[in-house]
Structure 1
Amino acid sequence: MAKIKIGLFGFGVVGQGIYQVIRKAKNANAKIVRICVRNPDKPRAVEVDRALLTTSADEILDDPNVNLVVEVIDDAEASYDIVKRALIRGIPVVSGNKAMLAHHLPELIEIQQSRHVALLYDASSCGSIPVIRNLEEYYDNDLLLEVKGILNGSSNYILSRVFDHQESYAAALKQAQELGFAESDPSFDIEGYDSLFKLVIITVHALGVYVAPERIFTYGISTIHEADIRYAREKGVKIKLVAQVVKVGEDSFTLFVMPEFVTPDKYIYSVDDEYNGVVIRGECYDRQFMFGKGAGSLPTASSILSDIMARLHDYRYEYKKRNYLRTPDYTTDITLKIYVRYRTTDVRSILRFERIHEQYTSDESNYLIGSISLAELIEKRQQLSGNDVFVANIPIFFLGSDR
């Protein structure tokens, strides 16, 4: 069995985790031979031979000894350039960059197929949870109905502190930043984009269809208010940031990311702190639940190690549903039931509700619950971005089938 010689791009938190787990794994049969970094002199928690470090991507891509590129940098455009160049040269790649993959996956799939080279990226979607591999191998049929879950650990940590520890949103966000679960600019996580990019990738393997991120309704938790938290507690539910792709007909599906009122009988109700949880539902197997740490140095590194080990056996994604099954069409012509809390923004004049089920008015804030088309939400997304507005999903799919 030939030894895998890795050219590693990125030596931050995840890159250092990869270095550690490869050294710990006795059967990995892999070795990091070069590491591309921006600043070789930067202090790092993990000691490494400086002779391994380079600032030149070409030194790795032109090195005939490198037979696998592992890319874990935080710049999506630089990531795209490295991955594309490596694949074109016939070098297989393992990547963890969800933003890059979500925007460029169709092109990268074509390059893989034309160059007969592999790109693996299980770590991009849920850290240590092997969602992609399971969708690709175990759920490689047309019986899958839904993939739904908590895909972002930072936002989930914040909401867990709010609902399980009665902390304010602001205090929970600050604590998440202090612990390193959220960045100093947390918008990527709390606005739902991290979950969105993961959902785009998951959908390719769940249903065989690519939907560009800008076509998907995405709404985060940054404008959550004490009134929303109080409402949820009164109803005996929690608010979670949930990503969902679901078949809504024989030949159609939809997907979106938004806060959701989650009842205690749902699996994801008990997914707390920085953990992720994914429910996979099918026609004949009901629900499967996957749970684990969705981010962090060693959990993500362990997922990347799994992809590295898969390359020992020449594993690659076959994209079976794209190639062998009739794929469904993406639709936004569906009706959702939503909760909208607002104060001064004239939500009633912005949104065309098909039906209003409940409404409440007070000096502090107002809310209404109504049925509305997903297409309408996408069209009016920017008008719902004010700080005095919060939108949450009230689930309507598969009601009564979880008991």
Structure 2
Amino acid sequence: MSRKTLNIGLFGFGCVGLGLYEVLQKTPALKASIKNICVKDREKERAIGKENFTFDKNDILDDESINVVVELIDDADAAFEIVSAALRKGKAVVSANKKMIAEHFAELLELQKEYNVPLLYEAACCASMPIIRNLEEYYDNDLLESIEGIVNGSTNYILTKTFEEDLSYDEALLQAQEKGFAESNPILDTGGFDAKYKLTILLAHAFGHVAKPKDIFNIGIDNIGELELKYAKEKKLKIKLVAQAYKQNDGSISAYVIPKFITPDDRLYNVDDVFNGVITKTSFADTHFFVGRGAGSLPTASAVLSDISALSYDYRYEYKKIYREEDTNLSNETLVKVLLRHKKADSEALKDYFENVEESYSNNDLGYITGTISLNSLI
């Protein structure tokens, strides 16, 4: 099969946009070139000449010679307008906007079907790590039981710095922002929302379930305190923000994002810095472990480049698991193991929520309970 030539209209020229521009210069065999770049800020200094830019989205959307739109902007609402308009005009689309895709998944699915054009978004989940295409293709015929992993490089970087270098949370967050790992609004990362958007997308490709982000419970790392950090270090554990989804015996799916204590024998234990790691478990093949850089301009650009390369061979997601229309629903009945920090006066009342209490401690002001609790009770 021969490659077709791709003329790209690029929206956004931040870290990832510049990274894509650079990697395209180094891959001439791809037969893909950027014809026009649409940006918002007219005054911002750019790494390449002004002749490469436009400030009118229609210069790209109405250009019939452009057959691929690559969307790399922060604003999820503006991104949806651009992507949906491009699909309606019969242009293939590559996006890295996990919030936009998660919030509009069903609509984007219909647009792809109606206008017979592909939308690819590998970079939206784990940057350089090719997890979506593996879930879509490799695990199609195997019975996938669970998927769990570190899917946010920024929070992993922050947690690594607090454990290995004893930096404060604020110092580590500032470093992550300075290096371009953290989102412009850090609560998207630190509050677990970014990981939840990614899990929403992974759910569709892993189990064929199209969920709304609001249906998935998330706790971030922004409220982790000295007590939790000290507890983890004393027990020789690490804390990681983990997104997870499990198929229950009744066919329902449990999906949530929470900080988790990780033991040294867990594969996620050594996934540090901005790396992502995902573990899949199937009925026949047992577990597989994927690891790769989960943040940064060039790692994310590499995933965008991979999608562009796939488009040159007319690749598209088939969404076979979704179209099987199996009856799947989300359930919050699963049990999770937690450490719950509390005020001393609340100790006995909180114990009633636990299915099993393993450890309980309190001093004059604060305390904690460890044990198992249903996700419903935790919520």
Q: TM-score range by the shorter chain?
A: over 0.9
Deviation at residue 325 of structure 1 after TM alignment? 6.3
Letter in 2 for 1:67: N
Deviation at residue 339 of structure 1 after TM alignment? 1.2
1:272-315 deviation digits (Å, cap 9, x = unpaired): 11111111111111111111111111111111011001011100
Of 52-61 and 90-99, the range deviating more from structure 2? 52-61
> What residue in structure 2 maps to residue 288 of structure 1?
288
Deviation at residue 330 of structure 1 after TM alignment? 1.5
> What residue in structure 1 maps to residue 201 of structure 2?
201
Deviation at residue 324 of structure 1 after TM alignment? 3.1
> What residue in structure 2 maps to residue 384 of structure 1?
none
Aligned pairs, number:
376
> What residue in structure 2 maps to residue 397 of structure 1?
none
Choose which of 18, 21, 25 in structure 2 pairs with 1:23: 25
- State the distance in 2 between where 1:366 and 1:38 align: 50
> What residue in structure 2 maps to residue 381 of structure 1?
none
Question: Relative to structure 1, is the Cα distance of residues 35 and 214 closer, same or farther in structure 2, using a 3 angstrom cutoff?
Answer: same
Of 68-77 and 333-342, the range deviating more from structure 2? 333-342
- State the distance in 2 between where 1:114 and 1:316 align: 14
CA contact 1:71–1:96 (8 Å) conserved in 2: yes
Deviation at residue 175 of structure 1 after TM alignment? 2.7
Deviation at residue 192 of structure 1 after TM alignment? 0.5
CA contact 1:141–1:321 (8 Å) conserved in 2: no
- State the distance in 2 between where 1:262 and 1:77 align: 36
Question: Could you say what secondary structure the match of 2:363 adopts?
Answer: coil
Question: Relative to structure 1, is the Cα distance of residues 290 and 159 closer, same or farther in structure 2, using a 3 angstrom cutoff?
Answer: same
Letter in 2 for 1:241: L
Equivalent pairs: percent with the same residue?
47
Question: Relative to structure 1, is the Cα distance of residues 236 and 256 closer, same or farther in structure 2, using a 3 angstrom cutoff?
Answer: same
Letter in 1 for 2:34: I
Runs (5+) with no aligned partner, structure 2:
none
> What residue in structure 2 maps to residue 275 of structure 1?
275
Letter in 1 for 2:284: C
Question: Could you say what secondary structure the match of 1:360 adopts?
Answer: strand
Deviation at residue 89 of structure 1 after TM alignment? 1.6
CA contact 1:196–1:213 (8 Å) conserved in 2: yes
Question: Could you say what secondary structure the match of 1:139 adopts?
Answer: helix
> What residue in structure 1 maps to residue 82 of structure 2?
82
- 1:67 maps onto 2:45 in alignment: no
> What residue in structure 1 maps to residue 308 of structure 2?
308
Matches within 5 A, 1:359-398: 359-363=360-364, 365-378=366-379
- State the distance in 1 between where 2:183 and 2:89 align: 35
- State the distance in 2 between where 1:169 and 1:268 align: 21
- State the distance in 2 between where 1:292 and 1:261 align: 21
> What residue in structure 1 maps to residue 239 of structure 2?
239
CA contact 2:4–2:313 (8 Å) conserved in 1: no
Letter in 2 for 1:137: E
- State the distance in 2 between where 1:180 and 1:117 align: 32
> What residue in structure 1 maps to residue 55 of structure 2?
55
Letter in 2 for 1:375: N
Question: Relative to structure 1, is the Cα distance of residues 18 and 348 closer, same or farther in structure 2, using a 3 angstrom cutoff?
Answer: farther
Question: Relative to structure 1, is the Cα distance of residues 327 and 131 closer, same or farther in structure 2, using a 3 angstrom cutoff?
Answer: farther
Question: Could you say what secondary structure the match of 1:21 adopts?
Answer: helix
Task: Quote the RMSD (CA, aligned, Å).
Answer: 1.8
Deviation at residue 363 of structure 1 after TM alignment? 2.6
> What residue in structure 2 maps to residue 393 of structure 1?
none
Question: Relative to structure 1, is the Cα distance of residues 347 and 117 closer, same or farther in structure 2, using a 3 angstrom cutoff?
Answer: farther
Deviation at residue 347 of structure 1 after TM alignment? 6.5
Letter in 2 for 1:367: Y
Letter in 2 for 1:240: K
CA contact 2:102–2:212 (8 Å) conserved in 1: yes
Deviation at residue 12 of structure 1 after TM alignment? 1.1
1:48-88 deviation digits (Å, cap 9, x = unpaired): 3x233111111111111010100001000000001111111
Deviation at residue 170 of structure 1 after TM alignment? 3.2
Matches within 5 A, 1:204-243: 204-243=204-243
> What residue in structure 2 maps to residue 388 of structure 1?
none
- 1:357 maps onto 2:358 in alignment: yes
Deviation at residue 250 of structure 1 after TM alignment? 4.6
> What residue in structure 2 maps to residue 390 of structure 1?
none
Question: Could you say what secondary structure the match of 1:249 adopts?
Answer: coil
- State the distance in 1 between where 2:374 and 2:122 align: 33
Deviation at residue 115 of structure 1 after TM alignment? 1.4
Letter in 2 for 1:363: N
CA contact 2:344–2:365 (8 Å) conserved in 1: no
CA contact 1:122–1:304 (8 Å) conserved in 2: yes
- State the distance in 1 between where 2:276 and 2:286 align: 20
Deviation at residue 194 of structure 1 after TM alignment? 0.8
- 1:116 maps onto 2:116 in alignment: yes
- State the distance in 1 between where 2:345 and 2:36 align: 55
Letter in 2 for 1:91: K
Deviation at residue 364 of structure 1 after TM alignment? 5.1
Of 224-233 and 74-83, the range deviating more from structure 2? 224-233
Question: Relative to structure 1, is the Cα distance of residues 252 and 283 closer, same or farther in structure 2, using a 3 angstrom cutoff?
Answer: same
1:142-196 deviation digits (Å, cap 9, x = unpaired): 5111111111111101111122233333332233233333356421111101111
Deviation at residue 335 of structure 1 after TM alignment? 2.2
CA contact 1:207–1:327 (8 Å) conserved in 2: no
